[in-house]
Structures are given as C-alpha cells and as structure tokens.
Chains A and B, each alone.
Chain A
Amino acid sequence: DIVMTQSPLSLPVTPGEPASISCRSSQSLLHSNGYNYLHWYLHKPGQSPQVLIYSGSYRASGVPDRFSGSGSGTDFTLKISRVEAEDVGVYYCMQALHIPLTFGGGTKVEIK
C-alpha cells in the first residue's frame, strides 16, 4: 500500500497569516498521463469532508483562491495564503493512483 505522510500533525495559525501543509507519498503519484493523483480534503468540525484541490494543483469548484496546491511525484504542499477562521479543521491528502486509496493521517488546523 502507498503510505501517505503529512506534517505537521497540528498547525496553530493566526488569522491573516499564511499556512502550509506537507504531504509525502511512499511512491510516485505521477501518472503517465502527466497528472498527479493526489487530492486534498478538508474536514470541518460537524461537517462532511470536502474536496479542496485535485490532481495536485487544481482547485475544486467553489474553493477560495487563497488555497493552492503544488508538488509532483512524491512531495506535495497545500498552502493557504491568508488563513481565515472558517478554515479550521483537519486537512487530509489522499493518493488516488493505486488501490487501496490511502489518506494521510491528517493535519489539524486551529486558530491561535
């Protein structure tokens, strides 16, 4: 199975400041079609998870442009340019290249 490793586990942030989450996979997620099969999800308290970024760097519909994804192969980063209070929750990366699909352990983002 592909192992997904996220860091940090916890991320206290100040509103208006940037934030960054790292995700590393045990195998390359770059498909021969040129796309990285790496997606980012946010699980807000009391809600169902929602997709933020797909294929490494493409923002899902309705996602604010303060969220961005980058990386390729085995190293990926989710960045929030200016954190807002509504961004709190647990962020997960997930690889979709191989079965079983696997998630990272999650990064809990909370307001300082």
Chain B
Amino acid sequence: EVQLVDSGGGSVQPGGSLRLSCAASGFTFSSYWMHWVRQIPGKGLVWVSRIKGDGNTTTYADSVKGRFTIHRDNAKNTLYLQMNSLGADDTAVYYCVRDGRGDSVFDLWGRGTLVTVSS
C-alpha cells in the first residue's frame, strides 16, 4: 500500500527538541521530493520545509530556518524533521507530504503528528 506514516510528535517544553519521522511505503521513496506542512490547531496550512529525492537540496520557511533540519534516509525510506529551540508557536499538527509531480503537487499525505510546546 502506498502510504506515509508520520510519528514522533508529543509534548515538549519551550526551548526543547523533538524529531519527527515519516515512514514511506509502496513507492520509490528516493524518486520524490518530500515536504513537511504544519497546521496550528484551528488555523490553516503552512509549508515548513522540503528536501529533494537525493537529499542534497533542502529549503525552509523563514520561521523555522536555523532551528529545524529536514533530512532523509533513502535506504530506510524515512523522512525526518529535527526540531530544535521549539517555541509555543511551533505547536501544530505536522504532516509529511509527497510531491507527486515535482511541482509541489502534494498527492500523498501522512495522517499527521501533533507537537505541543508548553511549559
């Protein structure tokens, strides 16, 4: 089955760190750009970061640049988001997303994992 299973969310104190994972299956993972998109509860969708299939190109939203790192292990078919220096405004559901066509058409989404930053 073609799917993305994201995990790793949880509660963390301000200034803390968390690593999200996204396990891909059913398709050739290394052939696709992958993204993280987040949704603050009750708010809209916000793009966070992307990584090319070979892992050599990454891009970030300004709000997370320098704090978050996206990377992938194509041997394990897994995407990661390392999140450091977390603040309250990072509280959101994080979705792992596949770019199906190379032009940021998000054709496959994980179910999302909730990150809560609170003291």
Q: Chain A interface (Cβ within 8 Å of chain B)?
A: 35, 37, 39, 41, 43, 48-51, 54-55, 60-61, 90, 92, 94, 96, 99-106
Residues of B within 8 A of A101 (CB): 35, 47, 50, 104
Within the assembled complex, what's the spacing in Å between the Cα atoms of A68 and B4? Answer: 27
Identify which of B50, B104, B105, B112 contacts A60 (C-beta below 8 A): B105
> In the complex the two chains form, is A50's CB within 8 Å of B109's CB?
yes
* B87 close to chain A: CB less than 8 A: no
With beta carbons under 8 angstroms apart, the residue of B44, B61, B101, B103 that contacts A100 is: B61
Interface size on B, residues (CB 8 A): 22
Q: How many A-B pairs fall under 8 Å by CB?
A: 60
Q: Which residue of A lies closest to B105 (CB)?
A: A54
Known pairs A103-B46, A103-B47; A48 contacts B109 (CB<8 A):
yes
A–B pairs, 29, beta carbons within 8 Å: A35-B103, A37-B103, A39-B104, A39-B105, A39-B106, A41-B45, A41-B106, A43-B45, A48-B109, A49-B37, A49-B45, A49-B95, A49-B106, A51-B100, A51-B106, A51-B107, A54-B101, A54-B103, A90-B44, A94-B47, A96-B104, A99-B59, A100-B47, A100-B61, A101-B47, A102-B47, A103-B47, A104-B44, A105-B44
